[in-house]
Amino acid sequence: MTTFSARPGRRAAFLVLGRALVQGRRPGSPGLADRARALPRMALGAVSGRYPALTRGRLAMLVLAVAYLVSPIDLVPEAFLSVFGLLDDGVVALWLGGALLVETQRYLEWQRAGAPDVVDGELV
């Protein structure tokens, strides 16, 4: 049985992903290949402190979501609950997809704007 509190989370995941996909179709927006190439630079910039818009906590959430999706250990096992076991994976995948689209868009815009060097929260 689905609880009422779980529905807003799924709805929010769909809305974030939908909004990011619509923004990605605008002329001049980066394509998926550009976004994929930006991911390692964005992560390295976040860890090193050069890209302050992506906090280490947010980066950790993205890494945990990837680990959850590829891990054989699952909160709701598909073997016992079949289709319902896939729903939690679907929600995590939707959130991850939307978050990656939003974060890569923000990072690429930051780079285009001149990407000021920031070290320990101070401009260099």
Over the stretch 60-86, which tens digit does the pLDDT of each residue have? 999 999 998 888 776 666 666 667 767
* 1, part of any domain: no
* 63, part of any domain: yes
Question: Residue 57's domain spans which residues?
Answer: 7-115
Structural domain count of the chain: 1
* 37, part of any domain: yes
User: What are the angstrom distances between the C-alpha of 6 and each of 85, 94, 124?
Assistant: 14, 14, 44
* Residue 21 pLDDT class (50, 70, 90 cuts): low
- Pick the more confident residue, 115 or 60: 60
Q: What is the pTM of this model?
A: 0.68
* 122, part of any domain: no
* 121, part of any domain: no
Please check the confidence at residue 54 and state whether its pLDDT lies above 90: yes
Instruction: Determine the Cα–Cα distance for residues 111 and 46; give it in Å rounded to an integer.
Output: 13
Shortest CA distance to 28 belongs to which of 96, 115, 97, 112? 112
* 123, part of any domain: no
